[in-house]
Chain A
Amino acid sequence: MADNSDNKVKPPSRQYPDPAVKLKQDPPTTGHSWDGIEEYDNPMPRWWVWIFIITIVWSVGYWIAYPAWPGIQQATSGVLGYSSRANVATEIAEFEARNEQFFVQLVDTDLGEIRDNDELQRFAVNAGASVFRAQCSQCHGTGGAGVQAAGFPNLLNDEWLWGGTLEDIHETIRYGIRNEDFAEARWSEMPAFGRDGLLTEEEIDETVHFVLSLSGSDHDADLALAGAEHFEINCASCHGDGGEGDYFIGAPALNTQVWLYGGSYDAIYESIYYSRFGVMPGFANRLRDAEIRAVAAYVHQLGGGQ
């Protein structure tokens, strides 16, 4: 019929079927129709059903092997004895065993020499950070910035009540401040000059202006001049003649821009009238020696360490 010598397709001279005629017997439809498009009602593949059944069988095995059914007190435990809590405990024990050598090393190393060992310092800072978050951040804040309104000291700046060397910080963390738990606890004392009638309200007013002048804050020069005398008699023995403070007795410096309870007139007035103290627990009976050393190393490298 067709000449295929040149291998070209030539349409034969006869009638062709309409291409629109469907050549395949279509499967039945569900009867649903959208915009003239009908939905075939094809059967689901059988293996799909099998997988469904297999998952059910699998789940029965799972109930037996693993904790599954909740009870009043606890869930069924499963014959494999799997417990995510036990797994976590195992993992924690594993990590602690791996950390143990560093904890031993921390205690064996002089505080001042921890910094010289890069690996140990890195461990101390990281371990200290986690101790800090758990034990210290409630008062000093997660960032170590303290809370001025409550008198919790900022640990990030260069001002310290009891000294900012690594040894000072370590000592403070170990025994705390003004607590009854340790005889070695740091103890500061300041009279309530107003409440106990040591100074009149007028004298306190003058003293506040003098204290403001020490740090170069806004003040009334005449009142400050009068306050200088009260300061010398009542305050200088602890805070120093120029208000430079004393680490040994925990007397804060008054000649700086850092204020524990705020540097406004009202805040200073209240401090002199009622006197104010902070309290800090000692951690010698709560943390391991190595942890205390680690958290001291951490606080020391926050930016204020001396």
Chain B
Amino acid sequence: MSSADQTPPSLYAKREPIFPRRVKGSFRTMKWWLLFLMLGIYYVIPWIRWDRGPEMPNQAVLLDLANRRFFFFMVEIWPHEFYFVAGLLIMAGIGLFLFTSALGRVWCGYACPQTVWTDLYIQVERWIEGDRNARLRLHRKPWDFEKIRKYGLKWTVWFLIGMATGGAWVFYFADAPTLFVDLFTGQAHPVAYITVLILTMTTFLFGGFFREQVCIYACPWPRIQAAMMDEDTITIDYRHWRGEPRGKLKKGQLDPNQGDCIDCLACVNVCPMGIDIRNGQQMECITCGLCIDACDEVMDRIGKPRGLVAYMALSDQETEQSGNAPKSVWKHIFRPRTILYTVLWAGIGIALIVALFIRADLDMSVAPVRNPTHIVLSDGTVRNVYDIRLRNMYHEPRDFVMSITENPDLHMSIEGEPGTQVTVGPDEQALLRVYLTAPPGTPSNVAESSPVRIWASIAGGSERVYSDTVFNGRNQ
């Protein structure tokens, strides 16, 4: 195709507004339930209480940024345990691989916040302005009282939903009941108001106006997800071997030389992405399932079997076309690739849970002071200094006993403490300046360096942790 015989395409394209028609069906019903479930989880979680003792927050899920703690029911995560979060992110990644290779873009179609909130916003639009044709009419109409009233009402409701969304978000970061009162009495921190404002505006714009463009232009997910799919992935497709050649009903009757598709555009009109599923797999398709509901309804009405548009694997197309029975869904789903993802996903999950239960609620990090590497005292004793951080990850104050093993030459003392026992407050950490000394004549005194293991244990308890480090001698 040469470009000389064409007029050059325009550089910029205006968005074609999409007015999805209402549809009823099993996928639509499921999507409503999922929407209620997920929004419910989002709004309710910050209000769940969890008793942790008098000095600790009693919010079940709390990201306490100021004190650098993350609370999740009985679990408390400190910043140095961030590997739990990293593990969860890896699980999320592998979970995405698993679901995408098995069920295609199921995240996009059912669970993505962009999809869920857009769905809600479209429903609001439908309540206020009516279904597709009414909305189209209103859209094309010049501005008059009715249009201003309806659009104004719609935008107000959208804005309120956006505010509720942004408002709920901040409750995850502070005590929800307190912040709720503060937000309305003007006493909350400016950061809370700014966060609410930003999330209100993003929800309002993304759900109300940007909609499918977020998926098409802004989101990296579709590109990654498309790469995760193969011919066994269950996804939404159009049985073109059954539907083509398409044609309108003639006097209410189907032409026997035509396929089952009567070109009624039901699937196109309900699509929130504004595409035609009959063109096959497209980057824009979020596999929301609404075209299936729409087409099934039509097939029922004209007395044809359902499933002209349906969930299927791409390899089924050819199998069915040649007249054979398609592979069962489970055979598509259980294949080496998905089994590998499941094993990896579950393995990391089990490892995280095990790590969560066996982790100690005390922690120590040892930083040897190397400025200078060692200090010679007047009697020839060599001293090394260690900055030690003790963490008491427990809601009561506890006594930590410091000790050393692996090196009998060394003696320990702590700056500012008479002995080797220190008290650390509830859910707090302490910084110690610990001295190890090697008396003259001992091997550690003259060696370049010798190993030592520093222990921290709970007084009267069995829990203890250690850290291996080295002791620098005079190197003589």
Q: Give the contacting residue for A257; candidates B254, B307, B379, B433; CB below 8 A.
A: B379
Chain B proximity of A158: nearest CB distance (Å): 5
**B304 on interface, CB distance cutoff 8 Å:** yes
Q: Across the interface, do A16 and B321 meet the contact criterion of CB distance under 8 Å?
A: yes
Q: At the interface with chain B, which of A17-25, A96-104, A175-183? A: A17-25
Given contacts A143-B371, A253-B378, contact A9 B242 (CB under 8 A): yes
* Set of chain A residues within 8 Å of B317, measured between Cβ atoms: 19
Q: Which residue of A lies closest to B240 (CB)?
A: A19
Q: Across the interface, do B280 and A23 meet the contact criterion of CB distance under 8 Å?
A: yes
Given contacts A11-B323, A156-B375, A257-B376, contact A44 B415 (CB under 8 A): no
Counted as pairs of residues, one from A and one from B, with CB atoms less than 8 Å apart, the total is 121
Chain A proximity of B47: nearest CB distance (Å): 35
Q: Across the interface, do A45 and B240 meet the contact criterion of CB distance under 8 Å?
A: no
Chain A proximity of B454: nearest CB distance (Å): 17
Q: At the interface with chain B, which of A26-34, A58-66, A191-199? A: A26-34
* Set of chain A residues within 8 Å of B11, measured between Cβ atoms: 43-44
Q: Which residue of B lies closest to A255 (CB)?
A: B378
Show 29 residue pairs from A and B whose CB-CB distance is below 8 angstroms, ordered by the A residue.
Answer: A1-B254, A4-B303, A7-B305, A9-B305, A9-B320, A11-B241, A12-B242, A19-B241, A24-B276, A28-B1, A28-B3, A29-B1, A42-B9, A42-B13, A43-B10, A43-B11, A45-B217, A46-B15, A47-B15, A48-B12, A121-B416, A156-B372, A156-B375, A159-B378, A256-B379, A257-B376, A257-B380, A257-B440, A301-B433
**B306 on interface, CB distance cutoff 8 Å:** yes
**A303 on interface, CB distance cutoff 8 Å:** yes
Q: Give the contacting residue for B13; candidates A16, A45, A154; CB below 8 A.
A: A45
Chain B proximity of A7: nearest CB distance (Å): 5
Given contacts A8-B305, A14-B257, contact A301 B416 (CB under 8 A): yes
Q: What per-residue 1/0 map shows which CB atoms of B232-266 lie under 8 Å from chain A? A: 00000001111011000000001011001000000
* Set of chain A residues within 8 Å of B320, measured between Cβ atoms: 9, 11
**A139 on interface, CB distance cutoff 8 Å:** no
CA distance A27 to B279 in the complex (A): 14
Chain B proximity of A128: nearest CB distance (Å): 14
Q: Across the interface, do B378 and A256 meet the contact criterion of CB distance under 8 Å?
A: yes
Q: Across the interface, do A158 and B304 meet the contact criterion of CB distance under 8 Å?
A: no
Q: Which residue of A lies closest to B2 (CB)?
A: A31
**B435 on interface, CB distance cutoff 8 Å:** yes
Given contacts A9-B307, A45-B12, A303-B375, contact A143 B257 (CB under 8 A): no
Q: Give the contacting residue for B12; candidates A2, A44, A257; CB below 8 A.
A: A44
Chain A proximity of B260: nearest CB distance (Å): 8
Q: Across the interface, do A145 and B371 meet the contact criterion of CB distance under 8 Å?
A: yes
Q: What per-residue 1/0 map shows which CB atoms of B413-446 lie under 8 Å from chain A? A: 0011000000000000000010100001000000
**A141 on interface, CB distance cutoff 8 Å:** yes
Q: Which residues from 144 to 162 on chain A have a C-beta closer than 8 Å to any C-beta of chain B?
A: 145, 154, 156-159
Chain B proximity of A163: nearest CB distance (Å): 14
Q: Which residue of A lies closest to B278 (CB)?
A: A23
CA distance A17 to B241 in the complex (A): 7
Q: Across the interface, do B6 and A17 meet the contact criterion of CB distance under 8 Å?
A: no
Q: Give the contacting residue for B6; candidates A4, A12, A24, A28; CB below 8 A.
A: A28
Q: Give the contacting residue for A45; candidates B15, B256, B375, B383; CB below 8 A.
A: B15
Nearest first, the 8 closest Cβ-Cβ pairs linking A and B are A143-B371, A256-B378, A145-B372, A43-B13, A257-B380, A4-B305, A24-B279, A159-B378
* Set of chain B residues within 8 Å of A141, measured between Cβ atoms: 371-372
CA distance A303 to B376 in the complex (A): 12
Q: Across the interface, do A303 and B415 meet the contact criterion of CB distance under 8 Å?
A: yes
CA distance A14 to B415 in the complex (A): 93
| Count of chain A residues near B, Cβ 8 A | 44
Q: Across the interface, do B305 and A157 meet the contact criterion of CB distance under 8 Å?
A: no
**B14 on interface, CB distance cutoff 8 Å:** yes
**B355 on interface, CB distance cutoff 8 Å:** no
Q: Which residue of A lies closest to B310 (CB)?
A: A9
**B377 on interface, CB distance cutoff 8 Å:** yes
Q: Across the interface, do B278 and A142 meet the contact criterion of CB distance under 8 Å?
A: no
**B168 on interface, CB distance cutoff 8 Å:** no
**A131 on interface, CB distance cutoff 8 Å:** no
* Set of chain A residues within 8 Å of B369, measured between Cβ atoms: 143
CA distance A143 to B383 in the complex (A): 14
CA distance A48 to B12 in the complex (A): 9
Q: Across the interface, do A31 and B3 meet the contact criterion of CB distance under 8 Å?
A: yes
* Set of chain A residues within 8 Å of B305, measured between Cβ atoms: 2, 4, 7-9
Chain B proximity of A102: nearest CB distance (Å): 18
Q: Across the interface, do B379 and A41 meet the contact criterion of CB distance under 8 Å?
A: no
Chain B proximity of A249: nearest CB distance (Å): 18
CA distance A42 to B435 in the complex (A): 70
**A49 on interface, CB distance cutoff 8 Å:** yes
CA distance A1 to B12 in the complex (A): 47
Q: Across the interface, do A9 and B239 meet the contact criterion of CB distance under 8 Å?
A: yes
CA distance A1 to B435 in the complex (A): 93
CA distance A202 to B307 in the complex (A): 113
CA distance A142 to B303 in the complex (A): 88
Given contacts A8-B305, A43-B9, A45-B13, contact A143 B372 (CB under 8 A): yes
Q: Which residues from 215 to 233 on chain A have a C-beta closer than 8 Å to any C-beta of chain B?
A: none
Q: Across the interface, do A16 and B378 meet the contact criterion of CB distance under 8 Å?
A: no
CA distance A1 to B253 in the complex (A): 11
* Set of chain A residues within 8 Å of B9, measured between Cβ atoms: 27-28, 41-43
CA distance A36 to B242 in the complex (A): 30
Q: Across the interface, do A157 and B377 meet the contact criterion of CB distance under 8 Å?
A: yes
Q: Across the interface, do A45 and B213 meet the contact criterion of CB distance under 8 Å?
A: yes
Given contacts A29-B1, A45-B15, contact A17 B244 (CB under 8 A): yes
Q: Across the interface, do B321 and A11 meet the contact criterion of CB distance under 8 Å?
A: yes
CA distance A14 to B11 in the complex (A): 44
CA distance A142 to B9 in the complex (A): 68
Q: Which residues from 304 to 349 on chain B have a C-beta closer than 8 Å to any C-beta of chain A?
A: 304-307, 317-318, 320-321, 323
**A258 on interface, CB distance cutoff 8 Å:** yes
CA distance A155 to B304 in the complex (A): 94
CA distance A121 to B11 in the complex (A): 69
CA distance A150 to B366 in the complex (A): 32
* Set of chain B residues within 8 Å of A24, measured between Cβ atoms: 276, 279
Chain A proximity of B325: nearest CB distance (Å): 9
Q: Which residue of A lies closest to B255 (CB)?
A: A1
* Set of chain A residues within 8 Å of B14, measured between Cβ atoms: 46
Q: Across the interface, do B383 and A23 meet the contact criterion of CB distance under 8 Å?
A: no
Chain A proximity of B119: nearest CB distance (Å): 22
Q: Across the interface, do B13 and A23 meet the contact criterion of CB distance under 8 Å?
A: no
Q: Give the contacting residue for B376; candidates A47, A121, A157; CB below 8 A.
A: A157
Q: Which of A4, A12, A156, A159 has the most CB of B within 10 A?
A: A156
Chain A proximity of B441: nearest CB distance (Å): 11
Given contacts A4-B303, A23-B278, A28-B6, contact A258 B376 (CB under 8 A): yes
Chain B proximity of A36: nearest CB distance (Å): 14
Q: Across the interface, do B279 and A47 meet the contact criterion of CB distance under 8 Å?
A: no
**B23 on interface, CB distance cutoff 8 Å:** no
CA distance A10 to B225 in the complex (A): 32
